[in-house]
Amino acid sequence: MNPVTGEPYEPQIVPRADYSRVLAEFWADGPQSETPPGHWFTITNSVLNHPLFEKRWEGQGEIMNDLEFDVRTYLAIGGAVHDAAVACWSAKGFYDYTRPIMAIRYMIDHGQCSDMNLPSYDPAGIPLIPGFIELVQAGDPLAGDNDENVNKVKLYTFRGPVEATGLDGVGWILGENWWTFQVRTFVTPPFPGYYSGHSTYSRTAAEVLTALTGSEYFPGGLGEFFAAQDEYLRASPGPSVDVHLQWASYKDASDQCSLSRIYGGLHPPCDDIPGRIVGTEIAPMVFDKANGYYNAGIPHVMAITSDKSMLTDADAGTQVTLVIEFSEDMDEASVPAISFPLGSPAGAIVENNASWIDATHYQIVYDIFDIDAEISNVVAKVQTAMDLQSNEIVPALQFVFNIDMANPAVADINFSENIVNDEVANNGIMILNIVFDEAMNTDFAPVITYPVQDISGSMMLNESLSYWQDDMTYVAIYDLVDDNNDAGSVTVVVAEAQDAAGNLLQELTIEGAFVVDTENPILASAEASHPFINTNFIGAEFTVSAMFAEEMDPNFVPVVAYSSNEPFINTLGTLVSEGWSSGSSYEWTYSVNASDEELPMVFISVSGGQDMYGNPQVPQDSEPFFGVDTHPATLVSAVSNASFFNDALSGTECFQSLSHLMMKWIATKCQPSNSLTIQSQTTLWYLMLVQVHG
């Protein structure tokens, strides 16, 4: 229902900017207001005065008169927000933590931290985000008359209260002038931020309202505030449409109040949730205390005690005992009803037995089971027991224990190096950071093992240097050794750490976490396209191949040297091509030159390669694997075993022997090459025959 016109309206979608700005101002509670705790008294008044609300304490029993119910309510709410203030401001004083305006302006004063090649770089600066956080350029409207603001950081943001700046809405401003979204008279409070008072007050009051009304919901199922279009906001014009803030439950309103401080720029998100948690702890204790005053003459619960304040994995299979102490002797024929309306421990505890210890003490024993979950602030409610005059007790609420049976887990793990190679190993140190998903017991370091690969000689945990950075981060430091080990991808297992409650870590196994390869690649073999270079190869191509024992980095070109560079270099003087023929084989192809060289044994030396993990190749010589003879054959002399042939020599072996020698010479020098042409061979035979037959 529209509170202005009284007409029903349809649910609507409003611009997020309107919603967040209305939240920021509605819940601001700054100067000249009812203040944050006072805001919850106005909400309480709206509940007490609602026509559908019946004033039954805790939603039960007869309707009370206005004075009694209102006095009880004000005492409970007032005591609750007072205790919330004590708890919250104790934390603020202890942590003395920053506010957004201080953090943002501090970073902007230092410049930008995104790019060290840009102006105004400082590691303590603010990250640049195009369209939101940029550097002022020459010609920018913010540059100044003399470009005095060039290279300063500018922000696209709320430009400040319109009555202070004269600027309307959102736009670019110098970062050093950043404002919160508030009116001019409401500056950032001059006390620490952590944790949020608004969050603490609101959640505490919402929980107490839930307890004293007996319902978590506003009367009629809806609480509402109306912000009229273009009329409500003061820090800037707006909202641009009518905005209806609505809450089904008191907790909804509390959560909205908490968010308003983030939207307004008064708190970072980390300030919010701790305040809410503290509120849920304070409220039931305060309400129980208030009930004790209201019911001083009526039997009531003095205390509910537990023999365990925290249930953990270690308690599974054992028992927890609650003892209820009453203000007077009770009728032991009556049985107190025990329930858990806040932080239900269903599944974690199952009642085993219950009995009266004596007239003022009742005991319930529960069996404990591991539910692998965390439940904070379990609150027990006691009702229905009667005293000896048949007066029923006032229902009581009291915190009894927390449950933490959730096993901690590793949230993140990272290594300072992805590959441990020669260079990394020679630097001597590797760092492993393990981040857990909750606070850990820092008396116990995690156990880190490498069960698959043997890297014991490559990495050794330095226990004296390893440490807990905080209660959620463990830093393991390893000493590295270049032990020429090729372990490959390493499997890491993290186990045996404990959280603050003593629950064991869920074992984490990471396959392929990093690589250990400090083994230098070697030349496995070398080959030539032919075992012997002779005159047949002149003008042809000859290939030398080097085969390595592992995959090599193709960006590194190995260099080949030959055993005899002079005069052998003349034979393979022209390099036609070179390159990787496979991941582990490199080839050099030469054009064979006409030379005059004889080298019966040639071997090569290869160096300069690098494997895929950055380890340099060990320079190596090959075994002799080819020979060279490009020396052309020539007839130096022809000798006969007789100076004159006559009839007397006819039939002897002189001529045959000479022919045999000549054939042997030709076979040795001329086959299978074509170094001597057919014409040359014929000429040799002719000369020989002339000489023989004279």
Residues sharing a CB contact under 8 Å with residue 65, sequence separation 6 or more, in sequence order: 55
Choose between 234 and 354: higher pLDDT. Answer: 354
My answer on whether omega of the bond before 531 falls inside 30° of 0, hence cis, is no
Span 418-447, pLDDT tens digits: 999 998 999 889 999 999 999 999 999 999
Span 476-521, pLDDT tens digits: 999 999 999 999 999 999 999 999 889 999 999 999 999 999 999 9
Structure tokens given for 675: 């170094």
CA distance linking residue 242 with residue 263, whole number of Å: 19
Neighbours of 136 (CB within 10 A): 23
CA distance linking residue 537 with residue 539, whole number of Å: 6
Span 568-582, pLDDT tens digits: 667 887 889 999 999
Measured at the CA of 351, the angle between CA 314 and CA 336, to 5 degrees, comes to 130
- 475 forms beta bridges with 433, 467
Mean pLDDT, to the nearest integer, of 216-229?
Answer: 94
Which parts of 553-686 are beta strand (E)?
A: 559-562, 574-582, 585-591, 598-602, 604-607, 620-621, 626-629
In three-state form (DSSP H/G/I as H, E/B as E, the rest C), the secondary structure along 465-480 is CCEEEECCEEEEEEEE
Residues sharing a CB contact under 8 Å with residue 423, sequence separation 6 or more, in sequence order: 614
Residue closest to 451 by CA, chosen among 410, 403, 508: 508
Residue closest to 151 by CA, chosen among 186, 190, 180, 110: 110
- Per DSSP, the three-state class of 352 is strand
Max intra-chain CA distance, the chain: 166
Span 318-375, pLDDT tens digits: 999 999 999 999 999 999 999 998 788 999 999 999 999 999 999 999 999 999 999 9
Phi, psi of 40 (to 5 degrees): -75, -20
Whether 23 and 244 have beta carbons less than 8 Å apart is answered as: no
Span 61-75, pLDDT tens digits: 899 999 999 999 999
Residue closest to 25 by CA, chosen among 236, 295, 199, 196: 236
pLDDT at 401 over 70: yes
Residue closest to 461 by CA, chosen among 443, 444, 447: 447
pLDDT of residue 687: 41
Phi, psi of 261 (to 5 degrees): -75, -25
Residue closest to 84 by CA, chosen among 245, 229, 196, 1: 196
- Per DSSP, the three-state class of 189 is coil
Mean pLDDT, to the nearest integer, of 400-426?
Answer: 92
With a threshold of 0.75, does the pTM exceed it? Answer: no
pLDDT of residue 561: 87
The one-letter code for the residue type at 612 is: M
Whether 299 and 393 have beta carbons less than 8 Å apart is answered as: yes
DSSP 440-455: B-TTSPPEEE--SS--
CA distances for 331 relative to 201, 326, 335, 363, 384, angstroms = 40, 11, 9, 14, 11
CA distance linking residue 156 with residue 423, whole number of Å: 46
